[in-house]
Amino acid sequence: MLERRIKPAQAMDHKADHVIRVVGLKKYYASGLFHKKIVKAVDGLSFEIQRGGSFALVGESGCGKSTVGRCVGRLSRPSSGSIYFKGKDIWQAPYHRKTLRKKMQIIFQDPDKSLDPRMRLFDILCEPLKVHGWPKGRQAEKVVNLMERVRLSPDLMDRYPHELSGGQRQRIGIARAISLDPELIIADEAVASLDLIAQTQIMDLMEKNQTENGTAYLYISHNLNTVRRFADRMAVIYLGRCVEAGKTEKIFNAPAHPYTRGLLSAFMGTGLLSTEKRSVLKGEVPSPMQPPPGCRFHPRCPNAKAVCSRLYPPERKVSEDHLVWCHF
């Protein structure tokens, strides 16, 4: 059975110094023949994004990152749990889709899929302005301004997306995302399909937007190098649950969970980590249809003991702003 969605008592969140607060988010999909199987894509995740902050979600493919992004971006309804945008539950009145769409924008991995190939860049950038009632006489001026902000020549505005490089297309994605001055941008693998130079340029643009306009970011990535550069805070997720969370630098300097150590070793090369921080990830992520009991990481964990297969580990504070979910 899918769980009931939202507890009415949680419709308002009065502690709103954050732009996003996610509480006990679950997203289950019915899958397989006769929809009898349940995929637990996200299974009880909580986190906050400070106003103007950058928060990363990391983990291997299939661990539920995009599902969280879709729920936060109000593209997908949670099975249970609550998501607050500046203190108000996004799935309950008074927010409706159009208002939130202006304040929260999403940039996807593949700009090709999110840009209409039949539209010229000018029309692509004008569309959100029209939808949100930007004065007609000032739309062209705004499009030029947006193109300049993402360092694209306004001469390109009559081109179609296929006439641009991947990096240029992603700049258009960013220009569109920042056009209505959102308070949150959800960037789901936004630089993953780009070469290294384009990656750096796009991240520079996002950083510039963050510092100049105070836009907060939910930065979803499996690439830890870009996370370290971009995010102040992060959560490592495994099979839809958090295993470690806190300040990015703390987690990189002293990863407390064996899974985080495995990810860091895989990404940064074991040579860059001291011996006690190294760990090689064995095997693959189990199916989210039958997640292992207890700690979900225990079948792959080099330190697993009997308790790990029985009990889900409680939250433990490693230091200020650094939490881990591990028995040891």
Contact residues: ligand ADP, CB under 6 A: 29, 31, 39, 41, 59, 61-67, 288
Distance CA 230, CA 206 (A): 9
Query: Shortest gap between Cβ of 5 and ligand ADP (angstroms)?
Result: 17
Measured from the CB of residue 237, what is the shortest distance to ligand ADP in angstroms?
8
Q: Within a 10 A sphere around the Cβ of 182, how many other Cβ atoms?
A: 21
Question: Could you tell me the smallest distance in angstroms from the CB atom of residue 238 to Mg ion?
Answer: 14
User: Nearest distance from residue 63's CB to ligand ADP, in Å?
Assistant: 4
Task: Pick between residue 89 and residue 188 the one whose CB is nearest to ligand ADP.
Answer: 188
Q: Of the two residues 287 and 319, which places its CB atom closer to ligand ADP in the complex?
A: 287
Among Mg ion, ligand ADP, none, residue 250 binds (CB under 5-8 Å by kind): none
Tokens 């009991």, residue located: 293
Of the pair 59, 246, the CB lying nearest ligand ADP is at 59
**Closer of 29 and 84 to ligand ADP (Cβ):** 29
Helix axes 166-178, 121-131, angle to 10 degrees: 20
Query: Among ligand ADP, Mg ion, none, what does residue 275 contact (CB within 5–8 Å per kind)?
Result: none
Binding region for Mg ion (CB under 5 A) = 66
Considering the complex, state which of residue 68 and residue 125 has its C-beta at the smaller distance from ligand ADP: 68
Q: Using the CB atoms, write b or e for 226-249: b if 16+ within 10 Å.
A: bbbebbbbbbbbbbbbbbbbbbbe
Q: At closest approach, how far in Å is the CB of 299 from ligand ADP?
A: 17
Task: Pick what 230 binds: Mg ion, ligand ADP, none; C-beta below 5 to 8 Å, kind-dependent.
Answer: none
In this chain, which residue has its C-beta nearest to Mg ion? 66
Identity of the residue, 206 or 237, whose beta carbon is nearer to ligand ADP in the bound complex:
237
- Decide whether 253 or 290 has the Cβ nearer to ligand ADP: 290
Out of Mg ion, ligand ADP, none, which partner does residue 99 contact, by CB within 5 to 8 A per kind? none
Q: Name the one residue in this structure whose structure tokens are 């949670």.
A: 78
Q: From the CB of 226, what's the least distance to ligand ADP, in Å?
A: 15
313: partner contacted, choices Mg ion, ligand ADP, none (Cβ within 5-8 A by kind):
none
Nearer to Mg ion by Cβ, of 189 and 232: the residue is 189
CA distances from 146 to 118, 129, 143, 157, 194 (A): 20, 11, 5, 11, 21
CB of 68 to ligand ADP, least distance (A): 7
In sequence order, the 6+-apart residues with CB closer than 8 A to the CB of 43 are: 26, 28, 64, 239, 240, 241, 288, 291
CB of residue 222 to ligand ADP, shortest distance in Å: 7
Residue 29 contact, options ligand ADP, Mg ion, none, Cβ 5-8 Å cut-off depending on partner type: ligand ADP
**138: exposed, middle or buried (Cβ count in 10 Å: 0-12, 13-18, 19+):** exposed
